[in-house]
Structure 1
Amino acid sequence: MQTRCVLFFLIFPILLEGCCKTHHQRRRTVFQRETTDQHYRVVEGESFMMPCVASLWFRTTEGVELKDSSLDCGKVFQAQLNHSGKYTSSQLSSGHHVVIYLQVVEKNALGCFQAEEHSVTLRVAAGGQITCPGFNCSNNTNVIWYKSNKLVSEQRRALCEKRGRLHLCQVTEYDEDVYFCDRQIVVQGVTWTFRRAVQVKIVRYHTSSDPPRIEYPDVNMTEEVELGQPHTLTCHVFFQVEEEFSPKVQWYLNHGGNMENMTLLSMERSQEKRVTVEEFEVIQRAIIKEVTPQHLNHTYSCIASTPVHKSSVTIQLKQKIKVKWPVLVGYPIVSFLLIVGLGIILHVKWLELQLIYRSHFQHGKNNEEKKEFDVLLSYVWNPLSEEVVSGFTMSSRPGTFSSEEACFSMDLVNSEDEATQTPLEVLLPQVIEGQWGYRLCLLERDVLPGGAYTNDVVLAIKRSRMLICILSTDYLSDSNAVFVLETGVKALLQNSVPKLLLIWTSRASASLMQPDPPLPALVQRALKVLPSLDWTSRKPAKATSKFWRSLKKAMPNH
């Protein structure tokens, strides 16, 4: 029977209009002309898609591409009058220069514009047809159909075209898309492709037995509101798509909670979206501009309906209780966090805080104690110090001098320039003991040999009112010298506290060095907070004078 039908329609092709058949048509290239210029005409407000000869098209003016006026291939957009113009692309794989002229026509200029022609709803598993908009206004019956940017005639499926209509023999859910129908028109000798768009929607061929499903709000729920503030009522509904589909979602105010005394609320435009072939989503909002106490006495119903089914949910409003967070919660929380933070800081910095307190505020307590020595001086000799010591005879002239005399007399050396070049470990004992008259303890001079070094250091610190350490890279690399400093810090943390002063001779280089073995953690932390002075040779006279005045001020009282 099928063979006879095919033979019959081959003999009588004019009767082909009533037949659907599986298309294996040859490729139609009506609009793939030899010329590289293509002209498209489209109606304002209708969907359009640039041909995918290139991936990106730029509007050009006087041969210059306008980068801010580009259109993507394969992307559907609503044509507007400002889209009219000349478009080119430099991304063609073939290397050819193609020009597209796009002309957007005002819909009011069309004599037979009908908005309902731009969308059609088809049923799954049934046959359906798509009509080319404005076809009856033209004598041109040659129409080429595209699904998105692909020729419909190239698809292997049961369909046929007749008199501007595309007939689908059996509709599936994959047929939902934007379809374009192209016709050729000639205007002043130029052939234009007049493209029209149709949005095709697919529905199931049945009447739903399920009522609308209200996702939000829940049944008998209560929403909190603030008096004097606006409030938005939101209803989120899912509908089963039907053959005759007209979903409706509305908000009503029930006076005094009476469901028979209802008033329709002012609503925003609903948000509608097709979720699947079978389900449709609607979000409807109603806004109460200012909540008053009267609003709390009523209930509010969201009613979702179709011609067959109806669902509803009723809610109530209640006043939100304003909790004074700063008073009830905020202050205690902030106070708790502050206490915890201070506790953490004290735990981490407790040693440093102890050293700062004892070195700046407690050392005065022991200044009156009777000690054998005023100052224990700790330093490390270097080769230059040895040379200088061999050229000098240690002065032992005790006596009391003013600060000016201490800074500028320098009678132990030949000149001021020579004094500034003298190593501090050589110069300092001469000034402290020889000029200022303090009782100075030097481990290599005043401690009897043969004893245990550790015991000698501990005893010397206890016998002294003050410990001065001359710090340098050599000092921090010497384990014996570091032991003296560490013992002094430990003594400072005890109640027997001697006064402790650090004098840096090379602070920058010492901070960059990595002693081997590393400095004890106690020493590393103490170096950051203990009182200190800086000494550098060849200082200006003013800076040198300031150093000696600061040192004299830090010395214990006679």
Structure 2
Amino acid sequence: MQTGYAVVIFIFPIVLEGCCVGNHQRRKRITAFQQNITHQYYRAVAGEVFMMPCLRYVSQHMEVGWSRTGEGSKGNEHLSVDCGKKFLAEAKHSGKYTSLTCGSKLSFHLRVVEKSSLKCFQPEESSKYLLLGAGGEVTCPGLNCSNNTEVIWYKGNKAVSEQSRASCVKNGHLHLCQVSEHDTGVFFCDRQIIEQGVKWTFRRAVNITVIPHYTPSYPPRIIYPVGNTTEEVELGQSHTLECKIYFPFEIMFSPEVRWYVHSSGNMANMTAQYKEIHPQEEGVTLQEIKVTQRAIIKDVTPQHLNNTYTCIASNTVGSSSVTIQLKRKHKVKWPSLAGYPVGSLLLVAGLGIILHVKWLELQLIYKSYFQHGKHNGDEKEYDVLLSYVWSPPSADMEGVLTLSSPSGPDTDEVAACLSSMALLNSEERKATQRPLEVLLPQVLEDQWGYRLCLLERDVLPGGAYTNDVVLAIQRSRMLICLLSANYLSNNNAVFVLESGVQALLQNSTLKVLLIWTSRASASLIQPDPPLPTLVERAVKVLPSLDWTPGKSGRATDKFWRSLRKSMPDQRVKLVSLMQGQ
């Protein structure tokens, strides 16, 4: 057992030295490369990509800026380059750079040499294709001309050996165990040379391109048009034929796409007859390259409708093709210009009929809700003309007067009046259980202080009734009608309402309010005799309130608040119900 254990201990370090396994020796070599970090000497080759190094002890989150100190090519003394930035090396970049980091002054010398000065230069070493998913080997350019095989490889500003991937370096060659898409880019290899006692780091660049395969395995696939198709065209207009193809990746990619025209059984290249645009690469992925080929027919003629157009795309594996035929586009026939005036006339006539039928309602709505109140300051003898018809006494006609403070900016007198009424004892509440015809005059006149006109009280008997009604309306600012089945069946009451509607149409200062005392909808009443047309249409649109006897105190309060808001703004001083107490 002890012998086997010793064998494992002996073999295990040897396995670690194999490729694709990280080892501690590589990290030691990297540290040795960067021990003297206060003075760095780098060489680059003109025309190759170069990246300014980022020193080891500087935090990864810091960007070191290298600034030219005055040495180098004339006119470029103040050149600055960021740490980790890639650029194409030129002779003008040679010189001494410094950077102040963490309180230390760092010095960096860069010398850009020409390719002709190198002992051996092989351009093919500067680029490499690696197959996706397989292992790959990358050679440091110029390594074969040097005896030093100590090389450190970088991808970005971090050594490859320190990255979380399976790789190793053998004799200066970088071995990647499995190539991925992320390996596409520039790799740098650093090796040291000594000249005149100065240790230089010679940095070379290798451009890596990851490919899915070396040769394509299938012909191009055309995605548009889909199969053989037909396109609509307009005679006399230009038309563009378009062919979209996906080509499988090739190292030496040269797409071949052509449009051909079949005319009278003969096929000819369209380039000689039409303007054919050079193929355009519109999308490149690792697996495929999207190419679009267009051909323009400047002026479509009937002859073009008889031709067949073929798009052919080819690569080293084979070719694909689709065909397009053209057909004439049929324009939508709109009605002749003579039909437009007739249609417009019918539309205007229809709108006119609708306005004529609903003109009365529209006038009443406008005057009741938008026009009223422009002349509230006009002096009138009465604030309200109250019109009603006595209803037979019954339980259904009784309501409970329960007043609370109305919402809105009422005066202090209104608040005091309503507050005092809320304090009525049960005996007084029973006394107010009376019909609205009796209750409303008391509230409007005695409690709210409005000047009220009652025909049976304020109009002298013996005169013409019609003249008295018209005169009373003219002397009032507002008309309130308590509507019920009895009211709409009474000729005198209906005449008052009709006169008020006519006055409203003539005089916008008059306000008309309807209070329904026995139902909520005018359509439920069938008066005998029938109502005049003016009244029948007016009761549907004029402002109205509902008085429902026997409801809760909250419903009654809501009615009084709504009535209070509907009253004219100008009124006499309110008289409190409890003034005499």
TM superposition score normalised by structure 1: 0.49
Bigger Rg, structure 1 or 2: 2
TM superposition score normalised by structure 2: 0.48
